[in-house]
């Protein structure tokens, strides 16, 4: 009567917990204190164990009824939970032998208290066997493919061997997955056989009535019968079904005994009113136990078969929904409020389930989050931390004889004065809060071996992160700089890798808590180590916005007295002015050159179309201007070459100086974008109007031609489509012409123009849109055509094909848009918002799949790229073994080397 | 002199670098300088090698996943005169990496051999490639209900353009229809139904059937467009059929390409498919103005084609082939994977990343890879 079964979820969890509780307690043998030392420090309190066990492997299998009973520490017999005093009932679902969830109680099985006891399984004896939903399809296959009399598989003995060989061959060739496919194929063939090759018994047709009922010739096969048939299947035949008889017997898939999960995985919560609210699983288990008891009583009392059948079905329903409450054919079990219960399957699967939410994603302490704001005076690898946060986050420091005085000063200050300390940890792991009352006593107690959790201080290591963390530069290591006020601050040059701006973005800060983590953060994650992107091999950080305009102005035309130049340079923290030429008036290029190392040579290009050479020789900017091409992120080789020659630390130092120089130049020089920047002389205004009028005329002619049917269609296109294409082309041409007028006629050195030319912000097209004409609004590459019947907006006539009726905006932003134009702009604006909104989840899913598929590929010691099981994916990474983050835009820069060698020869 | 040194470094440096060197070396160069250049380039190359343990997979996934957020979703119009849609941007990347059997907008670029590539008979050639359905040469159907006959009137101009005769058309119809007689009646074709019952209904069915009959050209090519590319003519098609196009004698098979990865795999093999994945993904990324190194795309393509067939990056493709149960379960459909594993008694050796994250153990990649061996003093 007692035998059967179980479910794999448990199998997994159980297996997992086994190795897991082991690591906590290290065995004596591995103690790390050498024997001689033990005697001299008698008052030393026991150290926390420092050697941890490692899980080597996890085996999966199905629990046998025997094992369920063996691992259970209690048999559950009553659905009651608590007695009158509120103490858990013995043999109830909250039995203290299953673990404790109330503070103060001790577990009867292991004697540990809350949070220490991992919980223990119990079991219930089922009055009648119940089919496990998750195995229904396998049981179904087994029933259909084996003899109903003798249990043998419906393959003659002589062919069985060869079938197995085929399966094994398939598995060797292409893995377990394809073996499963092959098995499926085989099973489909077996279903049609109607005579047993062993005992010649006639086979009846078996169907499955979902979810859990098997029907044979319109008669139901009771789970008892199912189970006996499964029992008859010999071990040797199971291989064909892909079942390993060493871990699973088919009859275990029909439950006769059910494990009860530990209380610790279904804790109850106490509401404010003092009432207890039980977990969904406990509710479900309560139902199961109750019905099970009723079934027992009815069977013993000899109740009519009908009643027993009904109860049996009910029990089957409860157990099915206990495993999975989302089965298509069953109404989900609900709370009294009507909300469906969250049972085992729902707990495990999907994004909020156990696996993705709790196992693959972890939570952490010692972290902070607030709004960010810029501070160009910080170094690139610093992060400004508000004092309030610095007093909450702590760094543990272990006391030894050399630092104990130093650490005592922190404890002395306590948690309220900065820099102080919040906690002291004894070597046995006991944490003590420092307060004014306990301070004196703790100061006394402190001794080597204790740990002080002191406040965050300048120079401490912190990880800084902004979501979405799409690449490794989204989480970098910074040095703490404690600052007043309430925002986290960072140098604007590191905005790009984080993809941050300051319109209310928040970022997270984490403080590593041990030496290993700190060392790893410092060596692998610090800002300067991430300078070169592994995506394309160029610098991800560079000057932005004002810093670019500033350097552009400086290197293009600025001249100032030597005195002013020195003042400027000293304001960005430069103290050595020997590189500045000794003359009264110095050019901006000479000021910029002060930042460059003396032996640096570089030839590059600026954005200017003509005369774009940038030449740096022996640390002097000889020719050219500094703009986005050279200073910006993701572009140009200037920063890349600096990095190559002088290393990361120096590069970020130079970069932050350049950045500050740019900002300071603007501060000194003044820089204001004004409306008059986009003013045009009257002459050009007429020119623009002429262009637009002419374009409109041409379009009208085209439309006329089309209406008269004279328009020649392009091959494969209708006349209407041809017309659209031609109009689109004409209008775009017209817009570009107006743009050219704006560019050539507007004054060249307005701040707006400087920004566009240096690449700091905006481009010439934006300028043309402001000053002259916004242009055609296009959706999916076509003019706007939808809206009302045969027209775009109700203010136009039907079938109006003229430019203005189909979304051509002939006004500039400065002159203002007409109401109709405004609507057209709104249409395309929304379209692009939609595009962004729809794209984000799509690309997010693509990224998740990529990351999941590629995560275990790594370079081995023999330079091959292999996956987790050792299969070779590439013989040499990227065919040449070059690490992109060590290349220059994906290449070895041969030209630079040649120039270097040849240059010296000359 | 320089040949000798090139030969010396032939096995040490990859081809790309050697070519770069060849192209950039000044014509006159002293032997010493040449030697020095090679020494330095070799040094830089060795320096730039990946470290063992480097998690190149994740770096690659990041490098493709991160710019994905910046790509556009729209399909674009072909840069030719007439309009032909091409899937680009994110949807195209998704479709390639999914390993889909048929792309959203299948397309071929057919290059031509010498005289034709200069524009000789380009229109006729294009017509020959295009799949023609009977419907296109029919000007109208006339159905006579009383006699249950159907007249098919042909468009003689179109017929001429396609060099079709009425006889050929009749043959095609005859071959593909049952229980009706096909007769030629001047420039028309007369169809008469045999049998009596419900003939009207049948005749309508017949009409629909005739419309989509295939007459000539290559199956699957719905549109053709000759385009001048640089200084030769190329035929761009909507719809693909590499196998049959390759059999045409005027086609330059070496350069003709399809954007259907699965078809390339069938016709030309996995290695070609792998290269096609790289080219196609790179093309899209480049078009979007993004900068991603080929090596990342190569890695993805190599992984997809590792087993000898192209597998997509989906739960049925690459992920299902992983050795670790927990890694599979953490992706999608966890329950299914756990149950299957329990039946076979699978063992998870914890050799990849997620499993170890789940168990709070160091991950065997990067700095987690090397272990420390120490002699314990007894």
| CA A785 – CA A319 distance, rounded (Å) | 58
**In sequence order, which ranges of B177-329 are alpha helices (DSSP H)?**
199-211, 242-246, 261-268, 270-287, 294-304, 325-329
Retrieve residue A420's tokens: 């102080």
Are residues A665 and A553 in contact, defined by beta-carbon separation less than 8 angstroms?
Answer: yes
Look up residue A847 and give its two tokens. Answer: 């990224």
Q: Which pLDDT does position A569 carry in this prediction?
A: 92
Using DSSP's 3-state secondary structure scheme, residue A242 falls into coil
Q: B352 contacts in A (CB within 8 Å)?
A: 855-856, 867-868
Residue A472 contacts residue A372 (beta carbons within 8 Å)? no
Binary contact (A854, B82; C-beta < 8 A): no
Query: Which pLDDT score is estimated for A14?
Result: 41
> Measured between beta carbons, which residues in chain B are less than 8 angstroms from residue A840?
69
pLDDT tens for chain B, 378 residues long, are 677 888 888 888 888 888 888 888 887 788 888 888 888 889 989 989 999 999 999 999 999 998 888 886 655 544 444 446 778 888 889 999 998 888 888 888 888 887 887 877 787 788 788 888 877 777 788 877 777 777 778 777 777 777 777 777 777 777 777 767 777 776 677 777 766 666 677 777 777 877 778 877 888 888 888 877 778 888 888 888 888 888 888 888 898 989 899 999 999 999 999 999 999 999 989 888 888 999 999 999 999 998 888 999 988 888 888 888 888 888 888 888 888 888 888 888 888 899 999 998 889 998 888 888 888 776
Which residue spans within A139-275 are E strands per DSSP?
206-209, 213-216, 219-221, 254-260, 269-270
CATH class name, domain B53-105+259-321: mainly alpha
Antiparallel, parallel or unpaired: β A602-605 and A506-510: unpaired
Chain A residue whose CA is closest to B320: A177
Q: H or E element: which one contains A656? A: helix A638-669
Find residue A146's DSSP bridge partners. Answer: A153
- Contact between A625 and A555 (Cβ < 8 Å): yes
Q: What is the pLDDT of residue B49?
A: 92
pLDDT in tens, A797-843: 888 888 888 888 988 888 899 999 999 999 988 988 888 888 888 88
Supply A512's token pair.
Answer: 């590593």
Domains and CATH numbers, chain A: 8-131+259-327 (4.10.860.120), 134-250 (no CATH), 367-530 (2.40.40.20), 546-669 (1.10.274.100), 675-834 (1.10.132.30), 858-905 (no CATH)
Q: What is the 3-state secondary structure (H, E, C) of B280-324?
A: HHHHHHHHCCCCCCHHHHHHHHHHHCCCCCCCCCCCCCCHHHCCC
Closest chain B residue to A11, measured at CA: B342
Q: What is the pLDDT of residues A419-448, one digit of tens each?
A: 999 999 988 888 899 998 888 888 988 889
Distances (CA, A) of A735 to A412, A768, A782, A818, B330: 72, 9, 16, 17, 53
Q: Which fold has domain B132-216?
A: Gyrase A; domain 2 (3.30.1360)
The CATH label, of 1.10.8.60, 1.25.10.10, 3.30.70.360, 1.10.150.390, for the domain at B325-368 is: 1.10.150.390
Torsion of CA A81, A86, A87, A91, to 10 degrees: -20
Q: Do the chains contact at A472 and B45, CB–CB below 8 Å? A: no
Give me the residue label for tokens 């709104």.
Answer: A826
Taking the whole predicted model, whether its pTM rises above 0.80 is answered as yes
Q: What is the DSSP letter of A600?
A: -
pLDDT at A557: 85
Flag if A877 and B44 touch (Cβ within 8 Å): no
Residue A816 host element (H or E): none
Tokens of A84: 């009158």
Q: Report the distance separating Cα A8 and Cα A253, nearest Å.
A: 10
When CB atoms are compared, the residue of A716, A846, A858 closest to B94 is: A846
Question: Token pair of A881, please?
Answer: 């073994």
Check B296 against A884: CB less than 8 A apart: yes
Which residues in chain A show pLDDT less than 50?
1-43, 905-906
CA-CA distance, B102 to A286, in Å (whole number)?
Answer: 52
Closest alpha carbon within chain A to B347: A59
Q: A517 Cβ partners below 8 Å, 6+ apart?
A: none
The residue behind tokens 């099981």 is A869
Neighbours of A430 (CB within 10 A): 9
The shortest C-alpha distance from A677 to chain B (Å) reads 30
Q: In chain B, where are the structural domains located?
A: 2-47, 53-105+259-321, 132-216, 325-368
- Does A634 sit within 8 Å of B73, measured CB to CB? no
Residue A863 to residue B50, Cβ atoms within 8 A = yes
């Amino acid at each position: 009567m007692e035998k059967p079964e179980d479910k794999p979820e448990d199998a997994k969890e159980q297996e997992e917990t086994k190795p897991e509780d082991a690591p906590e307690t290290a065995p004596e043998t591995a103690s790390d204190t050498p024997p001689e030392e033990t005697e001299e420090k008698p008052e030393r309190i026991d150290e926390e164990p420092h050697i941890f066990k490692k899980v080597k492997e996890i085996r999966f299998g199905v629990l046998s009824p025997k094992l369920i009973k063996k691992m259970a520490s209690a048999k559950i017999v009553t659905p009651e939970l608590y007695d009158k005093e509120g103490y858990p009932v013995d043999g109830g679902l909250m039995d203290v032998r299953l673990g404790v969830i109330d503070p103060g109680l001790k577990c009867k099985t292991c004697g540990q208290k809350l949070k220490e006891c991992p919980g223990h399984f119990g079991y219930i004896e089922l009055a009648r066997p119940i089919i496990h939903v998750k195995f229904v399809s396998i049981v179904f296959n087994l029933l259909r493919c084996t003899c109903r009399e003798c249990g043998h598989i419906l393959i003659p003995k002589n062919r069985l061997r060869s079938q197995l060989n085929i399966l094994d061959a398939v598995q060797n060739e292409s893995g377990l997955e394809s073996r499963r496919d092959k098995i499926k194929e085989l099973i489909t063939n077996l279903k049609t056989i109607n005579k047993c090759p062993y005992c010649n018994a006639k086979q009846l047709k078996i169907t499955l009535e979902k979810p859990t009922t098997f029907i044979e010739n319109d008669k139901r096969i009771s789970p008892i019968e199912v189970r006996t048939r499964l029992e008859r299947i010999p071990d040797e035949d199971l291989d064909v079904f892909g079942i390993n008889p060493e871990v699973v017997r088919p009859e275990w898939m029909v439950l006769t005994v059910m494990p009860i999960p530990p209380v610790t995985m279904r804790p109850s919560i106490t509401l404010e009113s003092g009432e207890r609210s039980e977990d969904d699983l406990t509710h479900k288990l309560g139902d199961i136990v109750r019905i099970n008891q009723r079934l027992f009583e009815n069977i013993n009392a000899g109740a009519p078969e009908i009643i027993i059948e009904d109860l049996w079905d009910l029990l089957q329903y409860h157990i099915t929904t206990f495993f999975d409450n989302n089965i298509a054919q069953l109404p989900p079990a609900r709370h009294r409020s009507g909300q469906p219960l969250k049972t085992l399957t729902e707990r495990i699967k999907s994004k909020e389930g156990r696996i993705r939410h709790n196992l693959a994603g972890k939570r952490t302490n010692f972290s902070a989050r607030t709004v960010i704001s810029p501070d160009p005076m910080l170094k690139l690898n610093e992060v400004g931390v508000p004092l309030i946060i610095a007093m909450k986050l702590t760094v543990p420091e272990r006391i030894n004889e050399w630092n104990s005085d130093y650490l005592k000063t922190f404890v002395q200050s306590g948690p309220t004065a900065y820099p102080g300390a919040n906690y002291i940890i004894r070597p046995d792991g006991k944490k003590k809060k420092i307060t004014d009352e306990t301070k004196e006593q703790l100061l006394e107690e402190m001794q080597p071996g204790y740990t002080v959790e002191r406040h965050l201080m300048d120079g401490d290591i912190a990880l800084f992160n902004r979501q979405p963390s799409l690449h490794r530069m989204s989480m970098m290591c910074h040095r703490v700089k404690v600052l007043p006020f309430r925002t986290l601050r960072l140098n604007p040059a590191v905005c790009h890798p984080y993809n941050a701006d300051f319109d209310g973005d928040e970022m997270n800060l984490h403080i590593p808590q041990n030496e290993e983590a700190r060392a790893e953060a410092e060596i692998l994650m610090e800002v300067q180590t991430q300078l070169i992107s592994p995506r394309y091999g160029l610098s991800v950080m560079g000057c932005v916005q004002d810093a670019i305009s500033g350097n552009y102005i400086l290197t293009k035309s600025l001249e100032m007295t030597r005195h002013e130049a020195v003042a400027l340079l000293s304001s960005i923290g430069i103290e050595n002015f020997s590189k500045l030429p000794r003359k009264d008036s110095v050019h901006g290029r000479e000021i910029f050159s002060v930042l460059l190392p003396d032996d640096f040579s570089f030839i590059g290009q600026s954005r200017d179309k003509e005369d774009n050479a940038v030449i740096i020789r022996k640390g002097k900017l000889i020719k050219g201007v500094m703009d986005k091409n050279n200073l910006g992120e993701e572009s140009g080789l200037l920063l890349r070459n600096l990095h190559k020659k002088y290393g990361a630390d120096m590069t970020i130092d130079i970069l932050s100086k350049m950045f500050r120089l740019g900002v300071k130049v603007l501060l000194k020089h003044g820089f204001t974008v004004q409306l008059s920047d986009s003013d045009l002389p009257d002459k050009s205004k007429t020119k623009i109007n002429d262009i637009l009028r002419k374009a409109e005329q041409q379009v009208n002619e085209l439309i006329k031609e089309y209406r008269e049917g004279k328009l020649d269609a392009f091959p494969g296109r209708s006349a209407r489509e041809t017309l659209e294409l031609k109009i689109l082309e004409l209008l775009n041409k017209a817009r570009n012409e107006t743009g050219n007028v704006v560019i050539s006629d507007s004054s060249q050195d307005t701040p707006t123009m400087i920004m566009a030319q240096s690449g700091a912000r905006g481009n010439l097209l934006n300028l043309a849109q402001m000053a002259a004409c916004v242009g055609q609004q296009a959706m999916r590459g076509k003019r706007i055509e939808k809206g009302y019947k045969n027209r775009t907006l109700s203010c136009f006539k039907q079938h109006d094909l003229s430019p203005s009726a189909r979304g051509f905006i002939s006004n500039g932003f400065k002159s203002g848009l007409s109401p109709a134009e405004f609507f057209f702009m709104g249409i395309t604006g929304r379209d692009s918002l939609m595009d962004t909104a729809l794209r984000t989840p799509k690309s997010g899913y693509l990224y998740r799949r990529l990351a999941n598929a590629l995560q275990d590929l790594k370079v081995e010691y023999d330079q091959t790229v292999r996956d987790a099981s050792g299969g070779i994916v590439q013989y040499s990474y990227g065919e040449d073994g070059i690490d992109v983050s060590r290349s220059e835009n994906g290449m070895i820069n041969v030209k630079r080397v040649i120039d270097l060698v040849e240059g010296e020869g000359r | 002199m320089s040949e000798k040194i090139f030969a010396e470094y032939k096995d040490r440096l990859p081809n790309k670098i050697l070519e770069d060197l060849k192209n950039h070396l000044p014509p006159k160069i002293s032997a010493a300088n040449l030697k020095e250049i090679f020494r330095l380039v070799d040094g830089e190359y060795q320096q730039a090698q990946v470290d063992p343990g480097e998690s190149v997979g994740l770096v690659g996934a990041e490098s493709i996943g991160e710019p994905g957020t910046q790509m556009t979703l729209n399909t674009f119009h072909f840069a030719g005169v007439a309009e032909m849609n091409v899937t680009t941007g994110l949807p195209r990347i998704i479709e390639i990496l999914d390993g889909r059997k048929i792309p959203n907008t299948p397309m071929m670029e057919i290059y031509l051999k010498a005289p034709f590539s200069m524009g000789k008979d380009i229109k006729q050639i294009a017509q020959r490639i295009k799949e023609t359905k009977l419907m296109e040469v029919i000007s109208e159907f006339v159905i006579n209900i009383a006699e249950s006959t159907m007249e098919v009137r042909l468009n003689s101009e179109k017929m001429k353009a396609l060099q079709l005769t009425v006889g050929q058309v009749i043959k095609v119809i005859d071959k593909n229809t049952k229980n009706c007689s096909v007769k030629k009646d001047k420039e028309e074709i007369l169809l008469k139904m045999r049998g009596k019952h419900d003939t009207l209904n049948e005749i309508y069915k017949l009409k629909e059937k005739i419309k989509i009959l295939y007459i000539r050209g290559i199956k699957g090519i719905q549109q053709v467009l000759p385009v001048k590319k640089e200084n030769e003519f190329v035929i761009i098609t909507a719809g693909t059929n590499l196998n049959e196009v390759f059999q045409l004698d005027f086609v330059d098979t070496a350069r003709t390409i399809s954007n259907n990865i699965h078809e390339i795999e069938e016709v030309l093999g996995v290695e070609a498919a792998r290269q096609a994945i790289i080219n196609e993904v790179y093309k899209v990324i480049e078009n979007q103005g993004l900068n991603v190194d080929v090596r990342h795309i190569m890695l993805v393509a190599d992984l997809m084609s590792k087993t000898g067939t192209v597998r997509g990056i989906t739960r049925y493709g690459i992920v299902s082939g992983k050795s670790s149960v927990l890694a599979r379960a953490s992706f999608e459909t966890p329950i299914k994977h756990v149950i299957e594993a329990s039946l076979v008694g699978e063992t998870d050796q914890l050799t990849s990343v997620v499993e170890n994250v789940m168990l709070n153990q160091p991950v065997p990649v990067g700095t987690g890879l090397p272990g420390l061996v120490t002699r314990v003093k007894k």
